[in-house]
Amino acid sequence: MDLSQALLLFVVFTPGALFGALALLWLAGYVPAERVVSRITGIAFAASAAALAVIVLRLAFTGSDRVVARFGNWFAAHQYEFPLALMADRLSLPFLAMTVMLSGLIGRFSATYLHRERGFLRFFLLLHLFTFGSLLAFAAASFDLLAAGWEVVGITSVLLIAFFDRRIPPVENALRVFAVYRSCDVGLLVGVFAMHHWAGGASFVRGLPALTEAQGVIVCLLLLLAAAGKAAQIPFSGWLPRAMEGPTPSSAIFYGAISIHAGAYLLLRAQPVLVQSKLACGLVIAIGLLTAIHGTIVGRASADAKTSLAYASLTQVGVVFVEIGLGWTWIAVAHVMGHAMVRTLQFLRAPSMLHDYHQMHSAAGGELAETGKHLDELFPERFQLWLYRWALDRGHLDTILDRGVIEPLMRLSNLLARIDDFGTGGALKRRREPVMRLTSIRPGSD
């Protein structure tokens, strides 16, 4: 193992090891002081950033375009292998750097922001676990390992949405987000198995698995389902405002920067297969375009700072999807990087938004021009009102999902429960989950 490989291993597994160590300490009854936790976090991310810089410099000097670290198979059964290989190439390095830098920044910011907050240690534990999951997903050399990191990101995301666990809405919204994530992740799982089945593997160290055109379309559509779920693209956009229930630093890193772009990364990884299929490309462009339009309209009608920032984020990710569908890989990567940085800053400044606004207002001499007025004038008033109502209900996406998927499923579940109770003479009659339970709490209600 050469230095670059060792450093890549260090970068990816340091947050995971920190999570494990801190969690075991807590289980054993020792709760480290806030200062200790924030110091350890700072040192770990600084070291990771330095290691990543060394990897980039070594790549630049050697002229190589990637570092691959293979550790054999995580497991193997018969002809099925789960390779444990990490790779830092031109695509993954920017994402790795973004993750390390922003996680370190969020760690530093949160040490003050969450000072003496109940759950300080829990936040940092989940931050480390999330960073580990993201780095694993971005540095994975196969879709199998990418899926493992992907799932970890999803679980930490949900646990952080429910961070303020004494209030019901964050908890219920976390459940809703979890449901969307898990449902869409089926696409990733089945897509990976389809690659194994048709191409004998899902590693992309030497290019993507060889698939026929039809197979490529199926795999791309499955991956698109997973990517759309994670990136809150239409029709799954409804979970994003619900996710704003978490603490601001986690919203910044998840929905302004890393998690929301994981879907784009997945599609970028699959792009060599994607570009072969006009159908899949067209679908990616259509979903991205619709999401961008949806995001910009709904964002304008959002009443709170974090939700309007979330929709602004959604709009940009939609545009990134369009770029990916058009095959503009490097524009998409640059767009992701720039957007993640700016949006993280905006999210972190969100609690001071009024103060910033007043400052800007004074600096502009007491008059700030209204934006979007020229767009308003393009449409008749009745259409504007309709659009406003549409935007207030966030494009009715949650309602469509509720009525089309959740309600029928819950009705079926209640019916099965009644069938199961048949013959018990009513002795086992009990309360059931109401049909609308998963849908009754809307973002912002408390």
Partner 1 sequence: MANSGFILIVAAISIPWLGALLAVLIKRQSRALGFAAAAASALASGLLLQGSPGRESWNEALMLLFSCLSAGALLVLPRRDCTPGAVAGMLFLQGSTLLAYSTGNLLVLLAAWILTTIPFLPARLFGARSWRPKIALLSSAIAFALAVAVIAAGGRELSIDRLNGQSAGGLPAFGLLVLAVILRKGICPAHAWVADAAESGPLVPTALLLNGHLGALVVAKLLVPLFPDAARNLFPALSHLALATALYVAIRALSETAPRRLLALLALSQSACILAGLESGTAEGITGALLQWLVVTASTMGLFGILRLLEVRFGENLTAAVHLGLAEHAPRLAVFFVVFGLALVGLPGTLSFFSQDLLIKGMLESHPLTGLLLPAAIAMNAISIFRLFTRLFLGKRRTGFTVMADALPRERWILTVGVLFVALGGLFPNAIVSLRWAESEPDGQGIHSPVKP
The residue whose two tokens read 């801190």 is 22
**Residue 40 or 171 having the CB closest to partner 1:** 171
Burial of residue 442 (number of CB atoms within 10 Å: 0-12, 13-18, 19+): middle
Quick one: which of 275, 307, 270 has its CA closest to 146?
270
Measured CA angle at 265 (ends 248, 318), to 5 deg? 70
| 158 binds partner 1 per the rule CB under 8 A | yes
Residues of this chain, 106-135, that bind partner 1 according to CB under 8 A: 133
> Would the CA dihedral through 86, 92, 97, 102 be positive or negative?
negative
Q: Which is nearer to partner 1, 90 or 411 (CB)?
A: 411
Residue environment code for 369-378, b if the CB has 16+ CB neighbours within 10 A, otherwise e: eeeeeeeeee
Separation of alpha carbons 223 and 263, rounded Å: 9
Candidate ranges 32-40, 168-176, 276-284, 305-313; the one touching partner 1 (CB under 8 A): 168-176
CB of 234 to partner 1, least distance (A): 21
Q: For residues 319 and 162, what is the distance between their CA atoms, to the nearest angstrom?
A: 29
- Does the footprint of partner 1 cover residue 369 (CB under 8 A)? no
Q: With CB under 8 A as the contact rule, which of the stretches 175-183, 223-231, 346-354, 357-365 interacts with partner 1?
A: 175-183
- Provide, rounded to whole angstroms, the least separation between the CB of residue 82 and partner 1: 7
User: Cα(first)–Cα(last) distance of the chain, in Å?
Assistant: 54
Question: Is residue 149 part of the contact set for partner 1 (CB under 8 A)?
Answer: yes
Neighbours of 20 (CB within 10 A): 15
Asked if 353 touches partner 1 (CB under 8 A), the answer is no
Identity of the residue, 144 or 398, whose beta carbon is nearer to partner 1 in the bound complex: 144
Based on the shown chain and the rule CB under 8 A, indicate whether residue 167 belongs to the binding site for partner 1.
yes
Query: How many residues sit close enough to partner 1 to count as binding (CB under 8 A)?
Result: 56
Residue 189 within binding range of partner 1, rule CB under 8 A: yes
Stretch that binds partner 1, among 6-14, 38-46, 361-369, 412-420 (CB under 8 A): 412-420
Q: Which is nearer to partner 1, 60 or 419 (CB)?
A: 419
Q: Which residue number, 162 or 350, has a Cβ lying nearer to partner 1? A: 162
Q: Which stretch binds partner 1 (CB under 8 A): 143-151, 241-249, 311-319, 389-397?
A: 143-151
φ/ψ of 405, rounded to 5, equals -120, -55
Reported residue count of the chain is 446
Q: Contact at 8 Å (CB) between 15 and 128?
A: yes
Backbone phi, psi, residue 96, to 5°: -65, -45
Judged by CB under 8 A, the residue of 59, 174, 273, 317 near partner 1 is: 174
Q: Which of 197, 355, 358, 396 binds partner 1 (CB under 8 A)?
A: 197
Q: Is 389 one of the binding residues for partner 1 (CB under 8 A)? A: no
Cα dist from 365 to 117, 353, 362, whole Å: 39, 18, 5
Check residue 203 and report its DSSP letter.
B
Residues of the shown chain interacting with partner 1 in the complex, contacts defined by CB under 8 A: 27, 73-80, 82, 133, 144, 147-149, 151-152, 155, 158, 162, 165-168, 171-172, 174-175, 178-179, 182-183, 185-186, 189-190, 193-194, 196-197, 409-410, 412-414, 416-417, 420, 423-424, 427-428, 430-433
